[in-house]
Amino acid sequence: MAQDKLVGVAVLKPGKGRRLHSAYLSALIVHDEWHGQGIGRALLAAMLETADNWLGLSRVSLAALADNHHAIRLYESFGFEMEGRLRADVFRNGAYVDGVTMARLL
């Protein structure tokens, strides 16, 4: 929250059954006006602190658009590595865009 406005959100979905050791970062969103101010980094750090120290997870995965280089660099700075490419994953502005899958293992 900044000036009583919600400027970012992160959602971590823990796995079930045989995937209790893992979680999926299903959303990490920062309002356009607040990009570049460390909010995404703070949200990701909080999610990973929860995953590591409270949920006892050994794997966190996520998906991102392949052309979102800022997000990919952020994820890599926290130890995420590329696992795969999702060809023509999203339709945006009249064209298909590839996605990538990434994960961080403890």
Q: DSSP per residue over 45-105, as a string? A: HHHHHHHHHTS--SEEEEEEETT-HHHHHHHHHTT-EEEEEEEEEEEETTEEEEEEEEEEE
* Ordered domains of the chain (ranges, CATH): 8-105 (3.40.630.30)
pLDDT digits (tens, 9 = 90+) for 51-73: 999 999 999 999 999 999 999 99
pLDDT digits (tens, 9 = 90+) for 14-50: 999 999 999 999 999 999 999 999 999 999 999 999 9
- pLDDT value at position 26? 96
Output the pTM of the full model. Answer: 0.91
